[in-house]
A and B are shown apart, each in its own frame.
Chain A
Amino acid sequence: MSVKPTVQLENVTKIIGKKTIINNISFDIYPGEVFGFLGPNGAGKTTTIRMLVGLIKPTSGKIHICCFDVRKQFVQAMQRLGSIVENPELYKYLSGRENLQMFARMLPDVDEERIQEVIDLVDLTARIDDQVRTYSLGMRQRLGIAQALLGRPDVLILDEPTNGLDPMGIKDLRLFIRKLVDETGLSVLVSSHILSEIELLADRVAIMTHGKIVKVGSVSDLVGALSAGVDWRVSDSFRALAILQESPHVQAAELYDDHTVHTLMDESKTSILNEALMKAGIEVWTIERKVQTLEDLFISLTGGDHIV
């Protein structure tokens, strides 16, 4: 592909004191994709994001936003980046509009028209002239996004954007981000410790733990590699195992106990296999699709660090 990545991290390391907080991480994000950044609390997600937005200097390694070095070409890099780091931190004693006007003065070419545009985009028109201290968390989140979008960025970074939102708000946010990416083709980096969220929202995922990235891949690949677990409860698992292992539709079969066989197989061929077992005189009691998600992958990758 000749498309240039909008975000590039190359061998980034951050050492504070003697502790290695971020250990040699690298990844790229491309235009038009939602990149999920997944890991338990304390894995180093927020530290990484702070390095991306120039709040923290990496000890070593390079970060580029749209080919601009965050350290050496800070202004150009930040002009192409909109972000919310942790909570949407805005001036509570100012109105929503005043907040946006203030941030607009720190950006090139943002006029009143653009401000109104983002207000409409996040649907805050009714309350925009009220003080931010009176806003609900969801509204603050929306104002934060408006602030991040003011400068028409190529990259949008949202750190734990669903924190404190109700299920409805989370769904709205998901649809909003999807629509935004489809319409403007920007890149979005979303961090979260909640797996189901990232699974629904992101195109690609980086899984991080203990300051290291353990896996980067597309969600469909990661999920696809996992989703074909089927458990068979039968009267005689030894004989069933032999039959299942012979079938071309089964990639792997494993004896679990006298009555249970675990398989990795093509789900759509379940009925064919069921028929074969019945013909051989084996009673099939239950067929269970073992619900496997990124969490299984995560646990197998990290060796037991739990995420929600």
Chain B
Amino acid sequence: MSNPNMVGLIRNEVMKIASKKRLAVVGVILVILVSMFTYAQYREIQEKIEKQGTLDWRVELQQEIVDRQNRLASSGIQDEFRQFLEFDLKQKQYYLDNDINPNYPGAPTFIRIFLSQGVTLVLPLFIIIIMADIVSGEYNDGTIKTLLSRPVKRWRILMAKWLTVLLYTSMVMAATVIVCYGISGIVLGYDGWTAPILTGFQASASGEFATEYIHTLPMWKYLLMSAGLAWVVTAVVGTISLMISVLVKNTATGIGAMMAVLIAGTLLSSIGSSWTSSKYLVNLNFDLINYLEGQAPPIEGMSLPFSLTVLGVWTAGCLAVAFWNFTQKDMY
């Protein structure tokens, strides 16, 4: 391959990031978070054993179902929340009827929950920590001048940076799975890869609970799908931060803007479904694993293909803006 080639350019970017030890910071945060969650799980299990004398998931699930029923019976709950509760109730009932434990104890289940909870906030946060200054850092250090007076076209330099974002997205995902498995297994045990799990719950057109698409998957397959969806979301967030990094020369401002995007997404999706056109916002489509679990979507009419399309369009738009700006701009 000719030199300068893309692999060499990516090696350069990896070298810059690696020497800033950002991945190590993310690793430390990950270990601390996972350790805390594992300990919390451990305490919960201990408490249940104390209360019930035994650890029977059927009893537990039955209790949760009763709890949902009680809440539904009480007056004054919002329509959206009622819908969510009904859906959740039916799902739990379905697990119970089919004698499948939705939370089979073990490290794989811990990974499943961590991915599901982390996909909208923690995993994107990691990629932002690593990637926020990938372009703006070069402005701040002045190295952009040296970088862009090389005999390499500007679009290739940005392409290398974007591919590096995707590479680090993969590394964040791998690190998350490995750390979750390693640490939570100490308490929860390391088996459960083949435990069955149900997927394919969905609301029918009329919003009713539909069972026709429900099927069981072995845990490992389910986790692979979860991790894949989480990868997509993290990569999209990485791409948006790349664009912001190109547009905003100050790294701190860039991180702030990205955090605002993330937090606004979480808030909006919990606040309300009345503003239906908000489903076209990129940050309302981050909870892809939701579709796998079969929870009711934040806004009616959203589905996995819909969300993937929205994410795809936004990603393409961000890349177009980033590349156009980066290749056309005068560098002072």
Contacts and interface: CB of A to CB of B under 8 A. Distances in A.
A108 B330 contact: no
A10 to B, nearest CB: 20
Nearest to B148: A55
A56 B151 contact: no
Chain A binding surface SS class: loop
A106 B331 contact: no
A265 interface: no
Interface in A234-281: none
A105 B8 contact: yes
Given A105-B9, A108-B151, A55 B146 contact: no
Contacts, number: 89
A83 B11 contact: no
Contact of B4 (A55, A56, A93, A108): A108
Contact of B143 (A81, A83, A90): A90
Contacts of A56: 330-332
B94 to A, nearest CB: 54
A87 B142 contact: yes
B11 A105 contact: yes
Interface stretch (A70-78, A176-184, A201-209, A294-302): A70-78
A130 interface: no
B330 A106 contact: no
Contacts of A75: 151-153
B3 A107 contact: yes
A271 to B, nearest CB: 56
Contacts of B221: none
B150 interface: yes
A106 B145 contact: no
20 contacts: A50-B145, A54-B149, A55-B330, A56-B330, A75-B151, A77-B151, A78-B152, A85-B145, A89-B143, A89-B145, A90-B146, A91-B16, A93-B16, A94-B16, A98-B15, A102-B15, A105-B3, A106-B151, A147-B146, A151-B151
Interface of B: 2-4, 8-9, 11-12, 15-16, 19-20, 141-146, 148-153, 330-332
